[in-house]
Every structure is written in structure tokens, then in C-alpha cells.
Chain A
Amino acid sequence: GAVVSQHPSWVICKSGTSVKIECRSLDFQATTMFWYRQFPKQSLMLMATSNEGSKATYEQGVEKDKFLINHASLTLSTLTVTSAHPEDSSFYICSARRTSPGELFFGEGSRLTVL
């Protein structure tokens, strides 16, 4: 099946620094990718929709200036957590939509811990 890869799998950073997480579709092109956030023992909450070549669409309550999303190519979307704080610690998961045949594939997730 199609593969979506995230990097890094886990990252620890100091409060106030910025962290970039990459989401790559390895064997298909994805014009649309989605970023989710998952708190411990909770469900996934959609943060934003990433569209190749255009601005991301953020869900209500998600700070676009804090969570910068860039979808510069058909196989790569990045999520940058700017000026990270401990409350940003979470599991971030991306998904990529394959057009033909249509299906959504999820990455393995990236665990962010902000000290």
C-alpha cells in the first residue's frame, strides 16, 4: 500500500524554540494533506488542511501563526510549531490523500515534547 512518512518520529525541544515536522508521501502525489493533533488517551483533532501551492486552511481555534504549514511540493508538507511551549507537547499525525485510486493514508506520527 501507499506510504506516508513523518520525520522526526519524536523530538524534544526547549520552550521558546521552533520545531519542524515533515510529512512525505513516498510513492504517490498528494495535492492535499491533513494535520492532526492527538493528546494522550484522546482522539485526533484536525488542525488544518494543507493544499499544495496555496495557503493552508486552519480549523477553528488553531493559531495559524503558531502552527505554520507549508505544502511546497506534491509529496511534502511541513508543520512548524513556532515558539513552542509545554502545552504544545502532543502527538502530531499527518495524512495524505491519494487521488487515484482515492484513499487517505496516515503517517506514523511525530511526538513532540517541549521542556
Chain B
Amino acid sequence: AQSVTQPDIHITVSEGASLELRCNYSYGATPYLFWYVQSPGQGLQLLLKYFSGDTLVQGIKGFEAEFKRSQSSFNLRKPSVHWSDAAEYFCAVSNFGNEKLTFGTGTRLTIIP
């Protein structure tokens, strides 16, 4: 069965600093990988996704993620965070593209001035 691990439960970053959120997956075939952001009490918004092709994926709000097959990772990065980036971030994997997703446990991002 596929699974997703987000090792960091909570990360605190200073505004303007760089950010990297870790995501490791377990899946036998080529996975479809996603990053979503959830603000408190809200639904999920897609930041970016990887299906195939270029392993460095650009998303919305200045985020990017790199698929590394050898490390089974899909880490999310942003060069300079803004206070509005404070939220919960979920990595997800699917074996059917835009179908059933398996989510990681999430990483809560706090931004300090």
C-alpha cells in the first residue's frame, strides 16, 4: 500500500527566510505527487503536483518541489516565506493521477517576524 511520511510535525521559520518541508513516499510504481496547503478551518488548496517530466515542479505562491526517485522524496521549498504562508501543509500521493489520494500527517508552518 502507498504511504506518505512528513517527518516534521511543526516548523517555525522567520519571515523572509527560506523553507523546506520534507515528504517521503512509499509506492511501488511511479507515483503522482501533490502538495496542498490548508489554512485554519479551510479546505485544501493545491500548491503543485508532479505527474511526469521535469522533476523540479513550480507551483503557486512561489513554491517549488523536487521529485527525487532515488530518495523517494518530494520536498517542498520556498526561497523567502511570507507571514501569509503560515498554514498546514500536506503532501499526498496517488497511483491514479487525480483520483484517490493518500495524505501525509501534515506539517504546521509558523512564521515569526
Q: Which residues of A contact B (CB under 8 A)?
A: 4, 6, 32, 34, 42-46, 49, 93, 95, 97-98, 102-109, 111
Contact = CB atoms under 8 A, between A and B. Distances in A.
Nearest to B104: A43
A108 B45 CA distance: 9
Q: Is the interface of B mostly helix, strand, loop or mixed?
A: loop
Interface residues of B toward A: which range?
A: 10 to 19
Contacts of B100: 34, 46, 49
Nearest to A98: B98
A106 B44 contact: yes
B45 A44 contact: no
B43 A103 contact: no
Interface of B: 36, 41-46, 90, 97-106
A3 B39 CA distance: 17
26 contacts: A32-B99, A34-B101, A42-B105, A43-B90, A43-B103, A43-B104, A43-B105, A44-B101, A45-B103, A46-B100, A46-B101, A46-B102, A49-B100, A93-B44, A95-B44, A98-B98, A102-B97, A102-B98, A104-B46, A104-B101, A106-B45, A107-B43, A108-B42, A109-B41, A109-B43, A111-B41
